[in-house]
Structure 1
Amino acid sequence: MLKTMKKITALCIFTLMLNACADSASVNQQAATSYLQTVNEAKQKGVVDTSSTTSKRIHQVFNKMYPYANRENNTGQPFNWQITVIKSNELNAWAMPGGKMAFYTGLVDKLHLNDDEIATVMGHEMAHALKEHGKKKVNMGTFTNVVAQVAHIALSTQIGSEGSGLIIGITKDWALDKPYSRSAETEADEVGLFLMAKAGYNPEAAPKLWEKMQTASSGNSGVFAALSSTHPSDKDRQANLLRLMPEAVAIYKGRQ
């Protein structure tokens, strides 16, 4: 009887995971809807930048790069690339599934980014969309939540539901979600490096950008900060990019 119950439980979990996994088309559509709402809210607050020199430079890099990003799209779904420049001191940029992007002026202005460095960030964010990290994060979140819930039920019989919830939350955060996120960031670095090179931007700017980022975030340095972050440490990123640099430079010089 116990073996039968275990088989039924395993089958139910597997079925739940399959049903919960989102497909590319639906995720892209949900992202487009959310993006439109976000942009409209930004417009209402008067923080959408369409006219500054910084905004024009960001759009220029975007317009040069997205045709090359389209060539790298192996998702089976066409992307309607869009970018919105947000007036903010925040050092940030992001991409949603389906190619919906935002770039914050503070990232360019505070770090004094040149066009190659803007392209480094642009390529990285485009790579997140191309590799469907948003979709995978949705599905990975569903998977880890299912695993966590099953483990919670099993442990609650031994140590009580309140205590097991805390333990599972920590385990899920460190053992499952964080390593996956760092892996996605590393992949975005790599794909973005080659994308910017194909679009005609010097990939040698990439490690220099992360030097600037390391300096800007020096107050949060240290082993614990690197482990607890969803991003690889800046030094690790630099080392990985330098490893790939000869191939990226060859692509860049080959189109000149």
Structure 2
Amino acid sequence: MVKNKVFIALGFSTLFIMSGCTTIADMAGADSATLNATSAQSFAKMQQEAKQKGVLDTSSSTYQRIYTILQRMEPYANQLNRTGQAFQWQLAVIKSDTLNAYVAPGGKVVFYTGIVNRLNLSDDEIAAIMGHEMTHALEEHAKNKIGADALTNLAIDIGKNYAGQSIGQFGNAAIDLGSQVGVGLPYSRNLETRADYGGLMLMAKAGYNPQAALTLWEKMSRAQGNTGVSFLSTHPSNTQRIAEMKNNLPAAIAIYNRTR
């Protein structure tokens, strides 16, 4: 009964989540299975629309690199899954100069080509982003952002202004995604910090050099200073984030060294 009221109140607006990085769905009272199922539906619809618009990348070298990294990290991510629901990890790569990546519940990962190409990321640096996003999904940070129904309409407006301006015609489509469950507000800095830590350990377990997380955020910091980067807008300050990563680096390097 409560769940039905939630869905009615949310007006079946979008669940698609822009994490780490971006906008998050707040679903009051949604269990993991429902959250993941709705996410999968929205993800499929987004992919279809992106394909129709000619912005879905499925064959470039950038796509192949990101997909290979997802596949390599997937088994280690699955070992950490304590949600009670098996994830079906999927990747969508969007052709856009936007410096962004995000994740939806159940393991639906989205990268924009700009974050890889404009920052000239190494595979290890891509893995740092992937680990960050995977941690958001594994720790179900979307569920931690469940809020009052009244936030939904406000969040939709915020999301359209936030993403639409930076990614053009596809921006509103990525936010709307078929209007199914509700768009929410960005992840809190605390959850971003947790995603940084979890991502660092996850990339190390998969055999990616965790030191690359530092160079990634140094690149992001320079890009933010030059042009403003939405990916960082809700994160801890760059100085704070890099300092915390340096503190956690010895533990991550110890894990990484055991993989070599």
Match status 1:58 vs 2:62: no
Give the 3 Å change call, closer, same or farther, for CA 180–37 of structure 1 in structure 2: closer
Identity of aligned residues (%): 54
Q: Does 1:194 align with 2:198?
A: no
Say whether the 8 Å CA contact 2:28–2:148 is kept in structure 1: no
Contact 1:97 1:134 in 2 (8 A): yes
Cα separation, partners in 2 of 1:143 and 1:184, compared to 1, 3 Å:
farther
Q: Does the alignment pair 1:113 with 2:149?
A: no
1:13-33 Cα distance to aligned partner (Å, 9 max, x none): xxxxxx942111111111111
1:214 to 2:233 alignment: no
Within the candidate set 229, 236, 248, 1:232 is matched to 236
- Correspondence 1:249 to 2:253: yes
| Alpha-carbon distance between aligned partners in 2 of 1:44 and 1:144, rounded to the nearest angstrom | 31
How far apart, in 2, do the equivalents of 1:253 and 1:76 lie? 30
Q: Give the aligned partner of residue 35 of structure 1.
A: 43
Q: Summarize deviations over 1:136-171 as a string: whole Å, max 9, x none.
A: 22x2355988xxxxxxxxxxxxxxxxxxxxxxxxxx
Give matches, 1:2-151, under 5 Å: 20-137=28-145, 139-142=146-149
Question: What is the aligned partner in structure 2 of residue 149 from structure 1?
Answer: none
CA contact (8 A) 2:39 2:104 kept: yes
**Deviations 1:25-57 (Å, cap 9, x if unpaired)?**
111111111111111110101111111111111
| 1:203 aligned to which of 199, 210, 221 | 210
Q: Mind listing any 5+ residue stretches in structure 2 that lack a counterpart?
A: 1-26, 153-183
Separation of aligned partners in 2, 1:87 and 1:230: 23
- CA deviation profile, 1:193-248 (whole Å, cap 9, x unmatched): 00000000000110111000000000478xxx9xx942111111101110100000
* Paired residue secondary structure (1:102): strand
CA distance in 2: counterparts of 1:105 and 1:114, whole angstroms: 13
Q: TM-score, normalised by structure 2?
A: 0.72
Query: Which has a greater percent of helix?
Result: 1
Query: Tell me, what secondary structure is at the counterpart of 2:54?
Result: coil
**Given that residues 78 and 87 in structure 2 are in contact (C-alpha distance below 8 angstroms), is that contact kept between their aligned partners in structure 1?**
yes
Paired letter, 1:24: S
Structure 2 CA distance for aligned equivalents of residues 84 and 20 of structure 1: 27
Equivalent residue letter for 2:224: S
CA distance in 2, matches of 1:243, 1:254: 19
Rounded Cα–Cα distance in structure 2 between residues aligned with 1:73 and 1:120: 18
Q: Which runs of 5+ in 1 are unaligned?
A: 1-18, 146-176
For these two proteins, the number of residue pairs brought into alignment is: 202
The AA in structure 2 aligned to 1:183 is N
CA RMSD in angstroms, aligned pairs only: 2.4
Task: Deviation per CA, 1:31-90: give whole Å up to 9, x if none.
Answer: 111111111110101111111111111111111011110001001111000001111100
Shift of 1:178: 8.1
* Structure 1 pair 54–20 and aligned structure 2 pair: CA distance change class (3 A): closer
Tell me if the contact between 2:133 and 2:195 (Cα under 8 Å) persists in the aligned partners: yes
Q: Is the 8 A contact 2:28 2:147 kept in 1?
A: no
1:98 counterpart letter in structure 2: G
Question: In structure 2, how many angstroms separate the alpha carbons of the residues matched to 1:20 and 1:58?
Answer: 33
User: CA distance change for structure 1 residues 220 and 48 in 2, over 3 Å: closer, same or farther?
Assistant: closer
Distance 2:151 2:110 in 1: 28
Conserved in 2, the CA contact under 8 Å of 1:84 and 1:101?
A: yes
